[in-house]
Structure 1
Amino acid sequence: MAPPASPAPSASTAGPDPEALTALQGALSAEHAAIYGYGVVGARLPEDQQRADARTALAAHQARRDSWQRLLGGAGATPSAAAAGYQLPFAVGDAAAATRLAAHLESRLTAVYADLVAATAGPPRATAADALRECALRARRWGAPPTAFPGLPDPATTPPAATGAATATPTG
C-alpha cells in the first residue's frame, strides 16, 4: 500500500526561525539515516510482502527527504547532506534482525517528528504531524511495541534528563 501523498510544505511558513530550521535539519538528517537503514533492511528480507513493504517505506522516506530539502532550500538554508554511512544499532544478519531494524528506524523517526511538530508552525507542522503518524504506523507494522504518545518518551520509564530525540550516528 502506497503511503498517502502529503502536500509539500511551503518555505514561506517555515521562516528563518533558528529552532525550526534546526528541527528541519534534524528531520532531514534522520531521513538520510532511515534511507540508509532501509537499504540494509531490504537486502536482508526475502522477496515477499515484507520486501515490498520495505520498498514502500523507502520511497516514503525518500519523498520526505526531498520535501525537507526543498523546504530548507526555500528558507535560505543549506540542506544537510547524507553521510557516507551510518552506524547501525545492532548487527543485521537475517530477516528477523532486518524487521527489528525497520521498527527501530521508524520508532526513532517518531521522536524526531515530535520535535519537529513542537518547533514549527503552519503547513510544515501539519506535514511533520503527518510524518509522525505515518512513522508510528509503520513502526507498529514492523513489530515495535505500541506507545501511548508516539515520539514522546514514556514518563514511567524515562528519567527527566533523558528527553530529546535520538539521532543516527554517521560513519565515514
Structure 2
Amino acid sequence: MTPRTAPAGPAQALAEALAAEYAAIWAYGVIGVHLTEAARTAARSAEAAHRARRDALILQLNDSGAAVPADRAGYALPYPVTDKASALKLAVEIEERTAGHWRAALPHTTGAERNKALAALTDCAVRATRWRRTAKVTPITVPFPGRPA
C-alpha cells in the first residue's frame, strides 16, 4: 500500500496508516516462514510492533468517533516470496511503505497525534534499515524515510 492522494484530515490520514499497519502484519506472516534464527525473531518482533500500533490506532480512531477501516482477509504481494532473499526484500519494502503512510499523516496531525505519527515513521525507518543490513543491501539508509523513491 502506498499513499495515493493526500488525506483529507487527521482521521483519514490515521485510517490510511491503519490500513498500512494491517498490510504489514499480514506480510510478516509470509516473511517469517522464510527466515530462521535471529531474522525470524526480528520478524516476530516487527509484527508485534505493527500489531501494537494497529491496536492503538483502532482505539484512537474509535474513541474519536472516526471510521475504523476493516482489515482485509488477504493482501496482494508485489512479487512471489519464496526464499530468504525475497522475504528480506519484502520486509524492507513493507517497512518503507508503512513509513510512507506515516509520513503522509504528519502534515495532517498536531500535538500528541503528530508525535505518535513521527514515532511510527521513525520505527519503520529503523526496521527498514535493520532489514537492509540483514539482507546486505547498500546503502542501508535512505535520506528521507517514507518518501517514494
- TM-score w.r.t. structure 1 length? 0.76
Deviation at 1:44, TM superposition (A): 1.2
Q: Which runs of 5+ in 1 are unaligned?
A: 1-17, 155-172
**Equivalent position to 2:13, from 23, 31, 36:** 23
1:149 is aligned with what amino acid?
A: F
Partner of 2:131: 142
Per-residue CA shift, 1:31-90, capped at 9, x if unaligned?
Answer: 0000000000011112x0000000000000000000110110011023111101000011
Give the secondary-structure state (helix, strand or coil) at the position aligned to 2:9.
helix
**Equivalent position to 1:90, from 55, 72, 79:** 79
Report the identity percentage: 43
Q: Which runs of 5+ in 2 are unaligned?
A: 1-7
**Equivalent position to 2:27, from 32, 37, 57:** 37
- Aligned residue pair count: 137
Give the secondary-structure state (helix, strand or coil) at the position aligned to 2:82.
coil
Partner of 1:12: none
Partner of 1:106: 95
Give the secondary-structure state (helix, strand or coil) at the position aligned to 2:33.
helix
How far apart are the structure 2 equivalents of 1:62 and 1:106? 13
Q: Which has the higher helix share?
A: 2
How far apart are the structure 1 equivalents of 2:142 and 2:83? 26
Partner of 1:80: 69
Partner of 1:69: 58
Partner of 2:4: none
Per-residue CA shift, 1:116-158, capped at 9, x if unaligned?
Answer: 111111111101100101100100111164221111235xxxx
How far apart are the structure 1 equivalents of 2:131 and 2:86? 11
Residue range with higher mean Cα deviation, 128-137 or 74-83: 74-83
Partner of 1:153: 148
